Every structure is written in C-alpha cells, then in structure tokens.
Amino acid sequence: MSLVTRGIEKSYGPTRALAGVDLEAEGGRITAVIGQNGAGKSTLMGVLAGAVAPDAGTMSLDGAPYAPRSPLDARRAGVAMVHQELSLCPHLSVAENVLLGRLPTRGGLVDWKEARRLAVAALEPLVVIDPRTKVSDLSLANQQLVEIARALAFRCRVLILDEPTSSLAASDVLRLFARLRVLKERGLVILYLSHFLEEVTTLADRFVVLRDGENVGGGDVDGSAAGGTPRMVELMAGRAIATLYPRSTHTPGDVALSAGELVVRRGEVVGIAGLVGAGRTTLLRSILRANGTGAAPIRKAMLSEDRKAEGLATSLSIAANITLSRPASRWGFFVTRGGDERASRPWMERMGIRATSASQKVSELSGGNQQKVALARIMHDGADVLLVDEPTRGIDVETKARIYELIDQAARGGKAIVVVSSYLPELLGICDRIHVMRRGELGPSHEASALDEHALLREAAL
C-alpha cells in the first residue's frame, strides 16, 4: 500500500499555497507532516482527501492514478480524513455514526443486530463502547475514535489525521497513539499532521517538512542527527525578510496593562507566540473583558482573528465599520451617514484603504483592505490598549508591510499593543518583547532582539 503525489500545486488568488509538492507515504508506517502555520499542510491534506482541487500535479494510490473529485469520492477510493473539528451526527448512536449512509437492512427494515455487530467490529481495534450510546454523550476523545472507526468501516486504506490531539488531554493522547500503532500494524497508510514535534518523535516512523508550499526535506524518525528534533526545527524555520519590518526605537512609558506574566507599557509592542490551540485567543479575550485595577479606566479594543465573523460587519459600509464602536454622533445619539463618512476619510487615507468611497460595502473589498478597515476601527476607537489577533492572516505581502508600519506608528503614538501571531518572523520583526504560550500557559517574557525562530519553535513545540 502506498500513496504518492507529484508536483501538486495550488494557488488562492495571488497566494501560492502549494508550489509543487512531492510526497510518498507507505503502508505500515506513520508519516508525520510538519511545518509552520501557512506552510501548506492543510491545503495538501485537503487535496489528498478530495476537498481541494489542485491546479497541477498527479497522485497515485498503489500505483493506480488517484484524482478524487470530492471527499466522498476520496472515501470511496479508500482515503479518509479525520478533521480537527469532528464531523459526527451528535444526535445519533455510535453504531449509526460508524455506519452512516450504509446501515444494513433486512426485509426493508434496519437490521440493528447486524449494525451493532459491524460497528463493534470497526471499533474493535480502537475502543470498547456500547454501540447504542448516543454520540453526544461521549467524551471528545471517544468521539474522535468513533470517527476513525467510521473511516475503517469505509474500508479506508489511507487515514489522514489533522491535528488530532489539539483538544485531547495527555492521557487520551497516549491512548490514541496506542490505537494508531495497532492500525499501522494492519498496513494502513497513516498521515499525521501536527505542530507538536514531541508527538512526532514519539509516534511517527517518518517525517516530512513543508515550508512555503514545498516539501523541503524529511527522513526517518530515529533520534539520530538527521532524524531528530533539531533538524525538524531547522527545516521548518526558513528565513525571514528583514526589510518587511519597520525597526524604530520604542520608548516604553507607564504600565497600561498587567495580567499575570503579561505586562505591557505604553509605546510597546508585545508578542504572544504559540501553536494553534495553545489558548492565545482565549487569553486576549479574557484581557479584553477584565476590568483594569488602576484609577483611570483603560480603554481596550480587540482585532479578531476571524475578520468575517467577528472583526467586521461586512454588509455595512466602510464608514459604518470604522465608526462602529465610536460613532461620529451629535448630542450623544444623533448619527448621520455624512458625519460617519467625514470621520472615516482620514483613516482611509492613513491606512491606504483602496475603495471607491467611504460608503462602499466592506464585503466588496479585498481581504487585505478589509483587514485595514478592521484595524482602522480599533484605532478610531481611541483605545489605549490594542489587542491584535493574527493581524496579517491571509493577506498579501504589500498590505502586510503597511499593517506592520501602522502598528509601529500606533506604538510610537503611545498605545500599548499585544500581538498574537502564528507567523514567527512577523512577531520577531515587529515586537519588542515576546512570550510563548503553550497548552494554556503563558511563558516568561523574552527580549525579541535576543530571540530567533529556532528558539521560539523549540519553546512552543517541544
């Protein structure tokens, strides 16, 4: 059993997610696919599982050409993916979920006895659960095993696991690993996506590193120099473009924000690094909600990582969005469109928002310009503390540079800024100090000038 890809390419607009990926995975071995955020892991797995159509490249399964048109098509060919967000029918029983879409019948009616037998058989290498249990009554760890069992019931030959441990407790992680080893012995091709290098060295037989949409190397996981974590970190890190980041001197003022380990002064940019699911966004939200202890109330504003769902009201105009939290009102309540637009125009100019006018709908703008509108809103808000979550996700390099400049300007203007980002070069480029967050715990503060990507990766992923 083997899965091979040759020259897989995929672009989203100007962003090149995959730039010709060659990958080989054999049955009876667990292949870990690692890489930083945005390295193209998820896109590649989407291609393998039939959810993303590649622009170029070929794939083969046991030597036969493999080109799935949909996830269902991929499942029928024997390739199943278990996502981070589980896709189960919570109201149905375990047996029904395992046999979804293929319940056995007898004389036109569902043969429940046979269904339970088949479900128990599919669950056998994984876990002992009463197949009549309702799925929503199971723990998250067991729900995940049910989903793997469904893949097995579909007679899958290739099992793709996307960050399967991100929401599991440590004991459940070990249990999952033991189960995956059993499946490996049965000859399945197992692809395992993870940020945690510790997991990769414990579980995987081989590793492959993706960086900027390319397979930049890999090897056997054997604890040797060529197969250990230092090499993985080295391959994952790559190089940063220094000129992208403005390097002006910040002069920190009074403490504007103090929350446990995290202390931020006015005129300072503090970064929080960490893996997806480390709890960074939760931390930002709790800071946003918490009341200041000082005499004067500190105004805080947050830029959400989820621009479309939380950051913007996309069906409204640019002006309405920029003035959302501080309307240009008269007598405290009377708002006119003209007033909002007058208040918005200086921001549009400063941010370099490309639009026909301030009354244009935000949904008509490009992702980068939308992000600038979201940033303009928290700047217009006049808050002292800016909490910025993944400020450059999914936007082009030019806009990124502009956003870095704006963050720098805001800091020089006396704002206290906290930046959460999964893109390490960006944090190293714009922050004065950086904390690493790991499984819900915020680590100590480091001077950014004394750090590099290796150090951050080691602290975050080991």
Partner 1 sequence: MIALGRHRWVGPLIGLVVVFVLFAILLPGQLTKPITIMTMARATAVVGIAASGTTMVIILGGIDLSVGSAVALTTVVIALVLKQDLGVVAAIVLAVLAAACAGAINGGLTVGLEIAPFIVTLGTMGALRGAAIGLAHEQRVYVDAHGIDALVLPTHGVLGVPLAVWLLFAVAASIAVLLNNTTYGRQVFAIGSNERTALLAGIRVKRIKIITYAVATGLAGVAGIVEFGRLTVGDPTDSVGLELAVIASSVIGGSSLAGGEGSVLGTIFGAMMMTVIQTGCSFLGLASWLQMILTGVIIIAAAGLDRFRQKAAASRVRSRSHNPRKL
Binding site for partner 1 (CB under 8 A): 71-72, 75-76, 87-92, 96, 100-103, 105, 108-110, 112, 127-128, 134, 136-142, 150, 169, 171-172, 175
Q: How far is the CB of 75 from partner 1 (least distance, A)?
A: 7
State how far the alpha carbon of 168 is from the alpha carbons of 142, 171, 179, in Å.
10, 8, 14
- State whether the Cα torsion 227-61-154-164 is positive or negative: positive
Residue among 144 and 369 whose Cβ is closer to partner 1:
144
Q: How far is the CB of 99 from partner 1 (least distance, A)?
A: 9
By CB atoms closer than 10 A (0-12, 13-18, 19+), residue 340 is: buried
Residue among 128 and 450 whose Cβ is closer to partner 1:
128
Q: How far is the CB of 123 from partner 1 (least distance, A)?
A: 11
Residue among 143 and 445 whose Cβ is closer to partner 1:
143
Q: How far is the CB of 412 from partner 1 (least distance, A)?
A: 45
Cβ neighbors of 361 (< 8 A, separation 6 or more) are 314, 315, 316, 317, 318
Long-range residue pairs from 439-446, CB within 8 A, at least 24 positions apart, any chain:
439/278, 439/279, 440/278, 440/279, 440/282, 441/279, 442/260, 442/261, 442/262, 442/272, 442/283, 443/261, 444/261, 445/261, 445/262, 445/263, 445/270
Element (H, E) at 367: helix 367-380
Query: Is the distance from CB of 194 to CB of 166 less than 8 angstroms?
Result: no
Residue among 15 and 167 whose Cβ is closer to partner 1:
167
Residue among 100 and 259 whose Cβ is closer to partner 1:
100
Residue among 74 and 324 whose Cβ is closer to partner 1:
74
Q: How far is the CB of 38 from partner 1 (least distance, A)?
A: 25
Residues pairing with 361 in the sheet = 317
Nearest-Å Rg of the Cα atoms of the chain is 25
In 194-276 the beta strands, taken as DSSP E runs, fall at 206-211, 214-220, 255-259, 262-265, 269-274
**Parallel/antiparallel/unpaired status of strands 189-193 and 158-162:** parallel
Q: How far is the CB of 372 from partner 1 (least distance, A)?
A: 32
Q: How far is the CB of 140 from partner 1 (least distance, A)?
A: 5
Altogether, the residues listed in the chain come to a count of 462
Query: In angstroms, rounded to a whole number, what is the distance separating the alpha carbons of residues 136 and 119?
Result: 17
Residue among 106 and 337 whose Cβ is closer to partner 1:
106
Query: In angstroms, rounded to a whole number, what is the distance separating the alpha carbons of residues 428 and 433?
Result: 9
Q: How far is the CB of 362 from partner 1 (least distance, A)?
A: 24
Residue among 111 and 234 whose Cβ is closer to partner 1:
111
Q: How far is the CB of 105 from partner 1 (least distance, A)?
A: 6
Residue among 13 and 101 whose Cβ is closer to partner 1:
101
Residues pairing with 137 in the sheet = none
